[in-house]
């Protein structure tokens, strides 16, 4: 298993600004992912954070809006750029482990409100 | 695009009742995970099932992976208020560009009333 922490846990931001969310894993993992979730709803994958190379984005998400860094096997950041109220959401990072199934462990999430 | 249909979307029951949540797909998954999420927290892994026909038990929770690895169910016996939360199923495909990615069901919001 993996223990994941995220910072900040919540934030209130003004439109047009940017916020960087940090994700730290307590062990080296091959795969890290970033998701977005509306309260009470399912998760939408934003991108796969690749160590040492550019992130792989899902349809509907672009690097200019959600730049991602992954400098090593335990750390990643997601920036929400030029924010609008529509970006208000919960942002979650996860770490993927293989072995018995492709299991992902999730951080506690960052609750973002854009005014 | 793989779809994982989860039902029901909402479930409101009394303490002591039994319930079942279903996840169905036309796609084959190499593994399937079930998560539980409480408000203000991230999803917490309950179980991973890998083998077709596999049944796993976690106290009052029973998880089953379909023989063809296209569907799964979560059964809770004698539900308690502490079981309240959002339950998510997620399927994984091995290999290719989807390696490591999970396809999530829509989620089931379970409320257990005392």
* pLDDT value of residue A23: 98
Q: CA of A44: which chain B residue's CA is closest?
A: B104
- B18-65 pLDDT, tens digit per residue, is 999 999 999 999 899 999 999 999 999 999 999 999 999 999 999 999
* pLDDT value of residue B80: 97
Give the pair of three-digit tokens for residue A71. Answer: 């400098």
| Cβ–Cβ below 8 Å for A104 and B42 | no
Q: CA of B105: which chain A residue's CA is closest?
A: A42
Q: Is B35 exposed, middle or buried (0-12, 13-18, 19+ CB in 10 A)?
A: buried
* pLDDT value of residue A24: 97
Distance of alpha carbon A109 from alpha carbon B111, whole angstroms: 22
Query: Mean pLDDT across chain B, nearest whole number?
Result: 93
pLDDT band at B94 (very low <50, low <70, confident <90, very high): low
Residue A9: CB atoms within 10 Å = 13
List chain A pLDDT tens, one digit each, 115 residues. Answer: 889 999 999 999 999 999 999 999 999 888 899 999 998 899 999 999 988 889 999 999 999 999 999 999 999 999 999 999 999 999 999 998 766 667 899 999 999 999 9
pLDDT band at B99 (very low <50, low <70, confident <90, very high): low
What is the CA angle A62-B106-A82, rounded to 5? 25
Using the 8-state DSSP alphabet, how is residue A58 labeled?
P
Q: CA of B37: which chain A residue's CA is closest?
A: A40
* pLDDT value of residue B97: 62
Which B positions 44-83 lie with beta carbon below 8 A of chain A?
44-45, 48-50
Distance of alpha carbon B53 from alpha carbon B50, whole angstroms: 9
Nearest to A103 among B33, B88, B104 (CB): B33
pLDDT band at B101 (very low <50, low <70, confident <90, very high): confident
Q: Which of B8, B100, B106, B109 to mutate to test the interface with A (most CBs of A within 10 A)?
A: B100
* pLDDT value of residue B96: 60
């Amino acid at each position: 298993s993996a223990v994941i922490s995220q910072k900040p846990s919540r934030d209130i931001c003004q439109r047009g600004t940017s916020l960087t969310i940090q994700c730290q894993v307590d062990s080296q993992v091959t795969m890290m992912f970033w998701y977005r979730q509306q309260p009470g709803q399912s998760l939408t994958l934003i991108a796969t954070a690749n160590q040492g190379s550019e992130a792989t984005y899902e349809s509907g998400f672009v690097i200019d809006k959600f730049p991602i860094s992954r400098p090593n096997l335990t750390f990643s950041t997601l920036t929400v750029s030029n924010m609008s109220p529509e970006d208000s959401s919960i942002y979650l990072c996860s770490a993927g482990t293989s072995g018995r199934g492709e299991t992902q462990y999730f951080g506690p999430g960052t609750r973002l409100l854009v005014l | 695009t793989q779809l994982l249909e989860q039902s029901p979307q909402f479930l409101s029951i009394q303490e002591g009742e039994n319930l079942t949540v279903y996840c169905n797909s036309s796609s084959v998954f190499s593994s399937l995970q079930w998560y539980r999420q409480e408000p203000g927290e991230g999803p917490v892994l309950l179980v991973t099932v890998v083998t077709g026909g596999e049944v796993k038990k976690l106290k009052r929770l029973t998880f089953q992976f379909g023989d063809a690895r296209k569907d799964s169910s979560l059964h809770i016996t004698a539900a308690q208020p502490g079981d309240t939360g959002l339950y998510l199923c997620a399927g994984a495909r091995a290999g290719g560009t989807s390696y490591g990615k999970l396809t999530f069901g829509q989620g089931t919001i379970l409320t257990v009333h005392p």
